[in-house]
Amino acid sequence: MTTTARPRPWHAQVLTLFPEMFPGTLGHSLAGKALERGDWRLEVMDIRGFAKDKHRTVDDTPFGGGPGMVMRPDVVDAALAAALQPAENGEPVGPAIYLSPRGRVLDQDLVQDLAAGPGCVLVCGRYEGLDERVIEAHGLMEVSLGDFVLSGGEPAAIALIDAVVRLIPGVMGAAETLEEESFERGLLEYPHYTRPADWQGRPVPEILLSGHHEKIKAWRLRQAEEVTKLRRPDLWAAYQKRRAETQG
């Protein structure tokens, strides 16, 4: 009998003060099924478990004064060291990421890069966030979901993992669902319709009932272009630039 070596599944390690928030929504639907199948792995580490004193203190008041509390660098460092242990042993773990509004804004390119790698380590901040020195010392990659402030990094970590996991082969089912996806081409999605063909006096665009696949494809592309032009001039400019470079 022979055994086939399976590649190690994509591996998310989450460092958090609220481990009970995981898997959360990641335990549901396709991501949850894929997690059960072992198509990807989730390891949640409680940062509090790395506190050194009997009260298991993880935060302290900010030097210089001001509101709130700051997560201690020594405690977060100990948690990171544990998460990065496999890397010490030569097993790749992927980048260590701190979810923060100060970071590079997450986009589909970064999601694809992460999905192509072995996994990632996600540090979830609470209170006023991490002591700057532990960010520097580990060269943490700061990643933001957008220009707003959450009460902690956990929902951002869940969103990031969700975006990556749906790209893992087998998780989403039909590969063409992903290939056709507008963001892969740098456009917003074309509008979608299903039954009933006439709903509250609103008919579905006739072309979609024609069965003419080439024309439908062209119509959808035009719709995707129009909505992108209107709503996201930044994406539209980038799309046109790419189109000029590759002559279509």
Pick between residue 128 and residue 181 the one whose CB is nearest to ligand 4GY: 128
Q: Determine the size of the site formed for ligand 4GY (CB under 6 A).
A: 14
Give the span between the Cα atoms of 153 and 126, in whole angstroms: 7
Pick between residue 99 and residue 120 the one whose CB is nearest to ligand 4GY: 99
- Under a CB-based contact definition with an 8 Å cutoff, are residues 2 and 33 in contact? no
The distance of closest approach from Cβ of residue 107 to ligand 4GY in the complex, given in angstroms and rounded to an integer, is 13
Site string for ligand 4GY, 97-126 (x = CB under 6 A): --xxx-----------------------x-
Pick between residue 110 and residue 187 the one whose CB is nearest to ligand 4GY: 110
Pick between residue 18 and residue 219 the one whose CB is nearest to ligand 4GY: 18
Give the span between the Cα atoms of 92 and 207, in whole angstroms: 50
Binders of ligand 4GY among 135-174, rule CB under 6 A?
Answer: 144-146, 148-150, 152-153, 156
The distance of closest approach from Cβ of residue 215 to ligand 4GY in the complex, given in angstroms and rounded to an integer, is 41
The distance of closest approach from Cβ of residue 138 to ligand 4GY in the complex, given in angstroms and rounded to an integer, is 15
* Per-residue CA distances from 89 to 10, 86, 98, 246 (Å): 18, 5, 23, 43
- Contacts of 46-53 with C-beta under 8 Å, sequence gap 24+, read 46/16, 46/17, 46/19, 47/15, 47/16, 47/17, 47/71, 47/75, 47/76, 47/79, 48/17, 49/79, 50/75, 50/76, 50/78, 50/79, 50/82, 51/75, 52/78
Which residues make up the interface to ligand 4GY (CB under 6 A)? 99-101, 125, 129, 144-146, 148-150, 152-153, 156
